[in-house]
Structure 1
């Protein structure tokens, strides 16, 4: 009967030799490596190779099945890029032409010029108004009673009675009956093609004797703007605009040495003066233009009504003299009408 010795001694019935302390029964790594067959490594490498081969075969098969589509996509991208280089400038030109056509369509039916016009008297012209009749007593009272200073007060008071405002020309003498009217005109081109202004004339529609009912006289103050364009309404029924000299005389035709061309939306402001000593004139401004090979006459007036100008009459039925303000109020006083040559 075999007997075992202590923990580290031989075990009964066992023929295995004793192992040194600290070792176990596990197979060492080196022995495991020796037991591994070389063919196992070969199998592992071969599996990876087979997987790569299968992937390549699948890629080739896909390319073979989809070759037409791939070529089509490639050609499409290349052609799109090339055509973009050549067609983009052409498309931009077409876009510009479309804008021009749109502007031309919108301009159809419109005058060559858009305009605004208004009287443009300045403080230097004073309060000189002529009316066709005698003012009602109620209005005369308002004219005489001292009133807080207001440039528009007298104009608004007298306008319902047919008042026509006047200014004194620079070259007027004390005995002169020639007076002026100031008009400011804003012109704006409104055609796709540039608008050439060929001519500017005053067209006198009606002539009457100078207004001789009531006259208010009030000298102006300060200096006015020098106006460069004028009409002599006593020179005929159609009068060309003329340049103004620094002394206030009419010179050469305004457009003889000056060309005015307006693009679409481009503005210009022209201040006119019209002179008369002999009439109460109703008149308008005719502007002749040329655009896109066509001539046109644009009529400018006072909002559908003619402009009014009048010279000084020989005598009025009533007159009022402006009293220069004392403090913050002003007024007129009635004076005896006087005869003017």
Structure 2
């Protein structure tokens, strides 16, 4: 007997938009901390923000306390695509990573960069919470879904994942619809989840540019 024909397997709808991510976005362009599990004497000076990714990869550094992720989305056609919801999913939890905290700057000035979404990764079910921002002294009201993107109207999301008690691997899931289709895309770091670790009680170091070395510093007090 001929085997029964199996129904075709439904493939996920290809989203009508593209996206890129950058998970080395620093507060004020200079304020960020990394956990590095190496002796301070073997750690090179802090990089510029634009060079942070290769610096961190070479050292096996982990984002300490928070990870700022810039997600840039753009439609592939003239018709607008509706972005309906952004979900955060923690795919692995561990105890905080080992190492020393290395601060990229001991002090930053300037206006706040808007942070559109804030996520508490320590929560049992993390939620991307829309928060107000500030751009050159002008307040920016919190915004919420849905959004629309097209080829002529891109969108940028800034998501800050924070952790104090875990070393968390996490991804974003974006639900969309348009042109009679819908789906959900996973947004991550080139196929790998984003990673953020708390750093409770870890030694903190600042870079002394005069002495050209990392020196012990007191951790910043919680505000």
Report the TM-score range of the alignment, normalised by the length of the smaller protein: 0.7 to 0.9
Aligned in 2, Cα 1:195/1:303: closer, same or farther, shift over 3 Å?
same
Q: Distance in 2 between matches of 1:260 and 1:154?
A: 30
Deviation at 1:272, TM superposition (A): 1.4
Matches within 5 A, 1:1-341: 110-119=14-23, 120-122=25-27, 123-126=29-32, 128-131=33-36, 133=37, 135=38, 140-143=40-43, 150-151=47-48, 156-166=54-64, 179-190=65-76, 193-217=79-103, 218-223=105-110, 224-237=112-125, 239-245=126-132, 254-255=143-144, 258-264=145-151, 266-315=153-202, 319=203, 321-326=205-210, 330-333=212-215, 335=216
Q: Which residue of 1 aligns with 2:9?
A: none
TM-score by length of 2: 0.72
Deviation at 1:201, TM superposition (A): 1.2
Task: Tell me how many residue pairs correspond in the alignment.
Answer: 198
Q: Distance in 2 between matches of 1:193 and 1:236?
A: 38
TM-score by length of 1: 0.50
For the aligned residue pairs, the C-alpha RMSD in angstroms reads 3.4
Structure 1: runs of 5+ lacking an equivalent: 1-107, 167-178, 248-252
Deviation at 1:278, TM superposition (A): 1.3
Aligned in 2, Cα 1:240/1:189: closer, same or farther, shift over 3 Å?
farther
Q: Distance in 2 between matches of 1:150 and 1:160?
A: 12
Deviation at 1:151, TM superposition (A): 2.2
Deviation at 1:301, TM superposition (A): 0.8
Higher share of residues assigned strand: 2
Q: Which one has a bigger Cα radius of gyration?
A: 1
Higher relative contact order (CA 8 A, sep 6+): 2
Is the 1:320–1:332 Cα contact (8 Å) retained in structure 2? no
